[in-house]
Structure 1
Amino acid sequence: MKVRESLLKYISPKVPVEVRRDAARLFSSGSSAQDVQVEGAEKLTTADRLTILFILSFDSDPETSKEAATGFAAFDTGELATALADKLDPRLLRSLISLHSDDAELHTLIADNPGADATVKELVAAKVGAQEAVAGPESKEGPESSEEPEEEEEGSIYKRLQKMNAAEKIKLGLTGGKAERGLLINDANKIVSNAVLKNPRITDGEIIMLVNSKTASDEVLRMIARNREWVKNPQVKIGLITNPKTPLPIAMRFLDYIEKRELAKIAKSKNVSSVLSSNAMRKMERMR
C-alpha cells in the first residue's frame, strides 16, 4: 500500500512502538490533541488520519493494532465523508464497505472516490442490489422525463432501463453509450448518475451540456467540479458558476479562474445569485 512519505513517521515498523501507539490513540475518533501529543498531527488531513488508522490496525504490536482498529471502525461518519473527497487506497475503501454495509449514502461516496477500482465499484453495486431486494421491487414508472425520447433507439433504451435494478444501471452507467448515459445521468439514484461520470467514453461535449442543464443534480455538478481535466475547459467553469444548482462555495471558487470579460458578464447578470454577482463585481474592481 503506497502512502505519502510524511505519514511514515506514524506507521513505519521502524518507528518506536510508543509513537505508533500514540498515533493510534490520537487519530481514533473521540481523541484530541490534548490527550496525546504527536508531532505534526495538526497538519494532517482527515484522509491522512483515516489512512494511518487503517494501516496501524495491521500493526505487529497488539495494543497498537487494537486501538487503531477500534478507531477506524468508530470513525465519525461526517468525517468519513470529508476523507472520501480525497483519493484513498482500494483496500481501505473495501474495509469501509464491509464496516458500513447498510449505509447507502456512504456507498455513493465510496464508489465516487478517485481511488475506487473495479472491485470496489462491484462491491457497491452488489450492496445496492441487495438493499433493493430487501426494499422490494423498483417502481415501474421510472425516472421522470419532461419530454419523450426523439429517437426510436433511445425510446427502446428507456424501456429497458425501467426494467433494470440499481446494480444493473450502475454497470450500464460505467460502460454504456451516449444515449444510455444521457438517460442514466438523470437517475434518482446518486450512485447510478455518478457511475455515468466515471464512464471512460463520456465526452467534453456531454460535460458542457450537463453544467448548463437546469435539470442536472447538485451531486452531478459536484462530481464534475472535482474533475481537474474537465474544469480546465473554460465553458465548464462558466457553466458551473452560472448553474443555479451548483453549490455556492463551488461556484464562488471558480470565479478566481475565469477571464475578465466573463467576470464582467457575471457581475451584471440577473440570472445568478446576488452573492455571486457581488463577488464578481468586487473582483472586477480589484483588477482596475
Structure 2
Amino acid sequence: MTSPARIRLTLSPQAERYVRRDAPLEVRRLAAGGALPLPPVELATVLFALLHDPDAEVKARARASLEGLPPTVCDAVLSGEAHPAVLAWLAHAHRDDQAKLERIALNPATDDRTFVFLAGLPHKRVVEIVANNQTRLLRCPDIAEALGENPVTGRSTIDRILSFLGFERPDGEVLTDEPEAEPLPSADELTDEAAAAALRAFLGDDASAFARDLIDEHDDDLDEEAKTNLFAAVQKMSVMQKIKLARMGNKEARGLLVRDRNKLVATAAIRSPKITENEIENFAKARNLSEEVLRVIASNREWTRGYQVKFNLATNPRCPVAMSLKFLNFLHERELRSIMKSKDVPSAVSTQARRLLAKKGKV
C-alpha cells in the first residue's frame, strides 16, 4: 500500500511555534481555537497543521475552527496564496457552499486533484469555471472525465469544451453564441492512413493491433469477436483518447463512443465529421443513447429534414419530450395513429398524436 505524500507547509516563526510537536499541549489547544494574531492564510495553515496533531482534542478544535472561519477570513484564504492542501480540505469541507467553491476554482493555487473534485459537484457555476480553464483541461484529462459524467454539465459547457478541443458542430445544428477554437483539419484532409498513424501516436504502441479496425471503414460488419475486442480496447482508453478517436474513428468506433456514459465523449462521437445520414437515422431510434445525444440530433436542421429521422425521434422515449412533440407535426396520419396507440412512447406524445388526428377529424 502506497503511503500518502508528505505535505510541506511554510510558516513564519511566529506561527510555527503553535504547531511544533514539542510545543506545550495547552498552547496547541489554545491555537486550535483559532484566536491567533495571524494573517488569514497563515491562520488557516496553522489550523490545517493542527488537524494532524496527536492530541484528539487539538484535532477536534482545529477542525471546528477551520470549518467555521469568519466569512471575511475565509474569503481571504480561499482567494489568497494558501497551500493547495489547505484549499483541497476547505473544498471538501464546504462542498455544499457554491460561493466558497467558486473562489477555490478561481484560485491559481488550487491543485488539479481539487479541480477534478470540483468538476464532479452539483454546482453549475463552479462547473462552468472549471470548464473554462483550458490549461488545466489539457494538463489533467481527469477533469474532462469528471465534467463529462456530471449531470450538471450543460450542453453549452460541453459545446465550449469540444470547441476548444477542435470539434466543429455539424452544419445545421442550432448554435450558442460562443467563440470557437481553431478547427482541426477537415475530414477530407484526414486520410485513413494519417488517422491511423495519429491514433497510434496518440494512444501509444498498444494501439497498433486494433488501430486499423477503429479507423478503416468496412463494407461488411465486423464479426462478434472483433466487436468484443474493439469494445474492450475502447473501454481502456481515457476520456481524451476517446474524444480523439471520435473524430478519427470509423463507424464501429462511433457506434461504441456514442453510447459512452461520458457526455463529452458521446457528443464528440455524434459530431464526428465522418458521420453518415444512415448512422444518424439509426441513432435517432436507438433507445440506449443518452438524452444529450438525441438532443444534438434533434437540434440539427440538416439531419431532421429526413422523414425517417423525424419519425424515429418522435417515437424514441429517450428523446426529450418537447422535441418529440415538435416532430409529430410533420408525420402522416398512419404514423400518428400508430403513435396514438403505442405503449412505448411517453403519454404526452401519444396524447398529442390523438389531438392532431382529432383536429383533422380522423378520430
* Shorter-chain TM-score range: 0.5 to 0.7
1:118–1:171 Cα change, 3 Å: farther
**Residues 1:207 and 2:285 aligned together:** no
Pairwise mapping of residues 20-99 of structure 1 onto structure 2 (< 5 A)? 97-98=132-133
CA distance in 1, matches of 2:131, 2:320: 27
State the partner residue of 2:76. Answer: none
Match of 1:183 in 2: 256
The residue aligned with 1:193 is 266
Summarize deviations over 1:178-230 as a string: whole Å, max 9, x none. Answer: 11111111111110011111112111221122122221111111111011111
Alpha-carbon distance in 2 for matches of 1:231, 1:175: 24
Q: SS of the counterpart of 2:132?
A: helix
C-alpha separation between the residues in 2 aligned to 1:198 and 1:279? Answer: 31
Q: Which amino acid aligns with 1:254?
A: F
Cα distance change on mapping 1:272 and 1:172 into 2, 3 Å: same
Q: How much is the aligned-residue C-alpha RMSD, in angstroms?
A: 3.2
Structure 2 distance, partners of 1:162, 1:280, is 40
1:162 aligns with 2:235: yes
Unaligned runs of 5+ in 1: 1-75, 82-94, 122-148
User: Contact between 2:328 and 2:353, CA under 8 Å: does it hold in 1?
Assistant: yes
Distance in 1 (CA, whole Å) between partners of 2:235 and 2:334 is 45
CA change 1:193–1:265 in 2 (3 A) is: same
- TM-score normalised per structure 1: 0.52
* CA separation of 1:284 and 1:251: change in aligned 2, threshold 3 A: same
Q: Deviations over 1:157-188 (max 9, x none)?
A: 22321221100100111121011111111111
Partner of 1:108: 158
Q: Name the CA distance, whole Å, in 1 between partners of 2:132 and 2:276.
A: 30
CA–CA distance in 1 between the matches of 2:293 and 2:226? 25
TM-score of the two chains, using structure 2 as the length reference:
0.42
Letter in 2 for 1:194: T
- Give the one of 252, 266, 283 matched to 2:356: 283
**One-letter identity of the residue aligned with 1:155:** T
* Alpha-carbon distance in structure 2 between the residues aligned to 1:286 and 1:171: 49
Supply the AA of the counterpart residue of 1:267: M
Aligned residues: 173
Cα distance in 2 for residues equivalent to 1:110 and 1:197: 16
Q: Which runs of 5+ in 2 are unaligned?
A: 1-122, 138-142, 148-152, 163-168, 170-174, 185-221
Question: Secondary structure of 2:355's partner?
Answer: helix
What's 1:230 paired with? 303
Q: Deviations over 1:28-79 (max 9, x none)?
A: xxxxxxxxxxxxxxxxxxxxxxxxxxxxxxxxxxxxxxxxxxxxxxxx958x
For residue 45 of structure 1, what is the aligned residue in structure 2?
A: none
Q: Which amino acid aligns with 1:241?
A: A
Identify which range, 104-113 or 182-191, moves more after superposition.
104-113
- Pick aligned residue for 1:267 from 340, 348, 359: 340
C-alpha distance in 1 between matches for 2:315 and 2:244: 31
Aligned equivalent of 2:325: 252
Identity of aligned residues (%): 34
Distance 2:181 2:334 in 1: 43
Secondary structure in 2 matching 1:257: coil
CA distance in 1, matches of 2:229, 2:334: 44
CA distance in 2, matches of 1:156, 1:77: 37
The Cα of 1:260 is off from its aligned counterpart by 2.5
Q: Say whether the 8 Å CA contact 1:225–1:231 is kept in structure 2.
A: yes
Query: Structure 1 pair 96/154, CA: closer, same or farther in 2 (3 Å)?
Result: closer
Q: Output the CA distance in 1 between the equivalents of 2:342 and 2:239.
A: 40
Change (3 A) 1:236 1:116: farther
The residue that corresponds to 2:200 in the other structure is none
Q: Which amino acid aligns with 1:199?
A: S
Which has more radius of gyration?
2
Kept in 2, the 8 Å contact 1:242–1:251? The answer is yes
Q: Distance in 1 between matches of 2:300 and 2:332?
A: 20
Q: Matches of 1:118 and 1:110 in 2, distance apart?
A: 9
